[in-house]
Amino acid sequence: MTEITAPKSPVTAEQFADEIREQLKYAQGVTVEQATAADVYVAAAKAVRNHLQDAWFTTQADTVNGNTKAVGYLSAEFLMGKQLENALLNAGLTDQFDAAVEALGFQPKDIVDAEYEPGLGNGGLGRLAACFIDSLASLGVPAFGYGIQYRYGIFKQQFDENGKQVETPDYWLSNEEPWGHIDYNRDQKVSFGGEVVEENGKKVWKPAWSVRAVPVDYLVPGYKSQRVNTLRLWTARSYDEFDLLAFNRSEYMEAVEPKVKAENISKILYPEDSTKVGKELRLEQQYFFVSASLHDAIRVFYPGQDKPDLTTFPDKITFQLNDTHPVIGIPELMRILIDEYGYDWDTAWTITQKTFNYTCHTLLPEALEVWPSSLIGELLPRHLEIIEKISDQFKAELKDKGVAENTINDMAIYTGDAVRMAYLATYGGSHVNGVAELHSQLLKDVTLKNFSDAYPDKFTNVTNGVTPRRFIKLANPALSDLITEGLGTDKWLSDLELLQGLAPLAQDDEFVKKFAAVKQANKHSFVGFAKDHYGIDIDENTMFNTMVKRLHEYKRQSLKILAVISRYAGIKNGTINADDVLPRTVFFGAKAAPGYYLAKMTIQLINNVSRVVNNDPDVKGKLAVHMLPNYNIEMAQNLIPATELDEQISQAGKEASGTGNMKFALNGALTVGTLDGANVEIRERVGAENFFLFGMNVDEVESLYATGYDPAKYYEADPRLKQAIDLVAGGTFSEGDRNAYAPLVADWLTKDWFMTLADFSSYANIQAQIEELYTHPLDWNRKAILNVANSGFFSSDRSIEDYLERIWHTGPLA
Ligand code: 4GP
């Protein structure tokens, strides 16, 4: 094993300033006098990357030469957030950077702000992948993140003058992107289409077209671990850049058609999360990155070998399938083993099944991808044959186990018309996990019940977590300092359970006051951030109440906005005494999938409630509502530390886990929430008395469905709810237009699939308890401290340790 080389640090601030100067001069081609903040950002990024380079090489060498199995995290999304501050922190260069850029005549904050946030993910699942690769590196576990370098990430969200969401492309690669190493010499060929023929008794795939997968490597530095892992994102290039003959015929568009077709594959991140629409391009993307990644792993672990012994492949690397998106990897590995390396079916199957594991991130059946077999047949004909054979083998295995015929049919991977990717993943891998206790239980009891009956040992749980480096240390430096002061050490950043040491301090009034002062200071900074970024004025002496996450009916932003409307109406008509009202500022942040009609209408409603409420002198100083545009990691890092009350109000049994809930608790917000996802575990840990619980639980939801749910009954029963819905229906938030929200209103009153109306009263009622507590700041803050102290479990380091123990069976490099 190579000796571990520490990142090339420490350097002095002067040396670091020289390194930045050198980058400016030789790489950027500008003088210090000419340099803008954007130039200095690029130069500093390259300088810090240089410091990580040796440790990256060492980690790669140890990964290949050592005896520790590596982890391959296959994910269509990695929602990384800005890189510079995180890289500086993990490389131990933050202080040098601050002093160096000041010496160059800049403010550190301006340099950090000059970075453009990459948005290569939709939401929870993509951000989780980013937290996981941070934790893997921090724990010293050899790992590769494998995904796609989309040319355009998640759309940028703006609102038009009517409050509607407008999506614009995210040109994140328009300027120099200093983090990735593009490596044209380690490319892979990925093929599509064509047909399968028999040659000498063997099946041979004759593809119709191919693209070139070129890796872009991002360094993933561990916090204080001296390890730097790799995030390898593939970009698609064409083998036929240019058709000169067509060009010479003046067919200019045709001349570049092959290039455009190939490059389209890595062009755009699909702007969908929970509702998946089958798209040919999406399947192309999935196969593209998975095929390139599997071939890459063989290249990495068996360098220069024509006939590698791939029976050892599962000992070299274990692949985690992050949701169903990479599941085509199962038939692809079978194909590689059989067609490219000549293994027999059974050997190939043993290797494949040992290699993969599957994480499910949803409970919504429609979010489990199902591909039409015609599409797979057209794009990947050899894979369809393999899938059919896997499906037959699976049926036979179930029959041997004595599973009933109709159950076997229900469990079919290949139905003739379609391929169910979640079923393929469950059968084709060693383990399946949900992402919170409740979710994993519901997977076993409901979503994948037959599978769990047939293969009980495959199923396990790993509750999600978040990285404390980004979401406490970088997002909330003031709280970080206070925690370190309270604990007398900063070791909590790599051992988050140490936060428990803060619990006794919840009884220490001096500490509680300091904690409250930190929150107030964070609110104050957010006021400035919001003014700069959104041009809005916020009163920092109001309660900051936040709901940020993707817009989806099951998450129930509707419930929150109806409660806001009801509060507004109550103050206006005097049923709520204005003098008793606790002043609140309500923040929403949410992107809706562009094709998701009701979600987009909800955004429009929130914007228009905001317009009406914020301009009404009758509620001034009592209630304000803001729909902040383009929720992203940067906004999360600024808003979460400033929040006092967090909303996790999904219908019980629908949110797989949530990770925002963890970030808020760790930053000292109290949660109002249902017994859903990881809320259940948060509440258990922080204490029921420190969590505002409301609403139906999973069993109550189920029995209400079973007995017949009639939302109109709830509308009639609670005058607050009736009034709120009537205001929406009556045009209060649409300048008198009664049709503007008619589809939303009709949905509430007749369908309300996620039972917003049924939970309204309980949600409205708990507000009094919340407000009563808020008027006793010491008591509120004691509870907030206990939330921080008891949320150490929700570190992604702990999640990774659980994966290592329960699923991957590997550990840190020696
Ligand atoms: C999300 C789930 O909705 C969320 O509950 C969970 O915390 C997160 O994954 C990470 O496990 N799902 C997605 C998706 O982002 O695209 O299905």
> What's the CATH number where 572 sits?
3.40.50.2000
Task: Tell me: do 699 and 782 sit in the same domain.
Answer: yes
Task: Tell me: do 498 and 426 sit in the same domain.
Answer: no
Task: Tell me: do 291 and 343 sit in the same domain.
Answer: yes
Residue 31 phi, psi (nearest 5): -80, 165
Structure tokens at 672: 């109002």
Q: Any catalytic annotation for residue 550?
A: yes
Q: Where are the alpha helices (DSSP H) in 709-792?
A: 711-717, 719-730, 742-746, 756-774, 777-789
In a domain, 467, yes or no: no
In a domain, 805, yes or no: no
**Residue 366's pLDDT is what?**
79
Q: Which atom of ligand 1 is nearest to the CA of 367?
A: 17
Q: Which residues contact 764 (CB under 8 A, 6 or more apart)?
A: 563, 566, 718, 720, 721
Segments forming the whole domain that contains residue 567: 474-799
Residue 777 phi, psi (nearest 5): -55, -35
Q: Which residues contact 734 (CB under 8 A, 6 or more apart)?
A: 608, 740, 741
Ligand 1 centroid – CA 616 distance (Å)? 37
In a domain, 551, yes or no: yes
Q: Which residues contact 584 (CB under 8 A, 6 or more apart)?
A: 542, 543, 545, 622, 623, 624
Q: Any catalytic annotation for residue 555?
A: yes
Q: Which atom of ligand 1 is nearest to the CA of 359?
A: 11
Residue 293 has a CB neighbour count (10 Å cut-off) of 27
Q: Which residues contact 409 (CB under 8 A, 6 or more apart)?
A: none
Task: Tell me: do 19 and 99 sit in the same domain.
Answer: yes
Q: Which residues does the chain have with pLDDT short of 50?
A: 1-5, 274-276, 278
Indicate which residue's Cα is closest to atom 7 of ligand 1: 658
Q: Any catalytic annotation for residue 663?
A: yes
**Partner residues linked to 168 by β-bridges:** 156
**Residue 7's pLDDT is what?**
52
Indicate which residue's Cα is closest to atom 8 of ligand 1: 124
Task: Tell me: do 229 and 125 sit in the same domain.
Answer: yes
**Domain stop point among 408, 438, 461:** 461
Ligand 1 centroid – CA 638 distance (Å)? 22
Task: Tell me: do 641 and 561 sit in the same domain.
Answer: yes
Q: Which atom of ligand 1 is nearest to the CA of 655?
A: 5
Q: Where are the alpha helices (DSSP H) in 139-217?
A: none
**Whole-angstrom Cα distance, residue 194 to residue 133?**
37
**Residue 242's pLDDT is what?**
67
| H/E element, 648 | strand 645-648
For residue 495, give the amino acid letter.
Answer: D
Residue 174 has a CB neighbour count (10 Å cut-off) of 9
Q: Which atom of ligand 1 is nearest to the CA of 123?
A: 15
Indicate which residue's Cα is closest to atom 16 of ligand 1: 273
Ligand 1 centroid – CA 278 distance (Å)? 19
Task: Tell me: do 268 and 395 sit in the same domain.
Answer: yes
Q: For a substitution probing ligand 1, which of 361, 363, 366, 555 has the most ligand atoms within 8 Å of its CB?
A: 361
Residue among 127, 469, 550, 591 flagged as catalytic: 550
Structure tokens at 399: 């029959």
- The tally of CA atoms less than 13 A away on the side-chain side of residue 204 is 7
Task: Tell me: do 19 and 125 sit in the same domain.
Answer: no
Residue 258 has a CB neighbour count (10 Å cut-off) of 18
**Whole-angstrom Cα distance, residue 126 to residue 144?**
15
Q: Any catalytic annotation for residue 224?
A: no
Residue among 63, 463, 659, 674 flagged as catalytic: 659
**Residue 9's pLDDT is what?**
54
**Residue 272's pLDDT is what?**
63
- Asked whether the bond before 221 is cis by omega within 30 degrees of 0, the reply is no
In a domain, 810, yes or no: no
Task: Tell me: do 35 and 73 sit in the same domain.
Answer: no
Number of domains in the chain: 3
Residue 239 has a CB neighbour count (10 Å cut-off) of 12
**Whole-angstrom Cα distance, residue 666 to residue 794?**
8
By three-state DSSP, how is residue 221 classified?
A: strand
- Give the residues surrounding ligand 1 with Cβ less than 6 Å away: 122-125, 128, 273-274, 323, 361-362, 367, 435, 464, 655-659, 677
**Whole-angstrom Cα distance, residue 548 to residue 157?**
14
**Domain stop point among 407, 432, 461:** 461
Per the listing, tokens 């179930």 go with 398
**Whole-angstrom Cα distance, residue 615 to residue 618?**
9
In a domain, 813, yes or no: no
Task: Tell me: do 38 and 156 sit in the same domain.
Answer: no
Residue pair 805/65 in contact by the 8 Å Cβ criterion: no
Indicate which residue's Cα is closest to atom 14 of ligand 1: 273
In a domain, 742, yes or no: yes
Residue among 555, 626, 683, 720 flagged as catalytic: 555
In a domain, 811, yes or no: no
Task: Tell me: do 356 and 501 sit in the same domain.
Answer: no
Residue among 21, 626, 663, 783 flagged as catalytic: 663
Q: For 700-710, write each residue's pLDDT tens digit.
A: 999 999 999 99
* 15-53 residues labelled b (16+ CB within 10 A) or e (exposed): ebbebbbebbeeebebebeebebbbbbbbbbbbbbebbe
Residue pair 63/2 in contact by the 8 Å Cβ criterion: no
**Residue 134's pLDDT is what?**
98
Per the listing, tokens 């100083």 go with 621
∠ Cα 490 476 539 (to 5°): 150
Residue pair 385/196 in contact by the 8 Å Cβ criterion: yes
Structure tokens at 235: 């970009």
Task: Tell me: do 138 and 104 sit in the same domain.
Answer: no
**Residue 578's pLDDT is what?**
81
Residue pair 762/666 in contact by the 8 Å Cβ criterion: no
Q: For a substitution probing ligand 1, which of 125, 323, 463 has the most ligand atoms within 8 Å of its CB?
A: 125
In a domain, 11, yes or no: yes
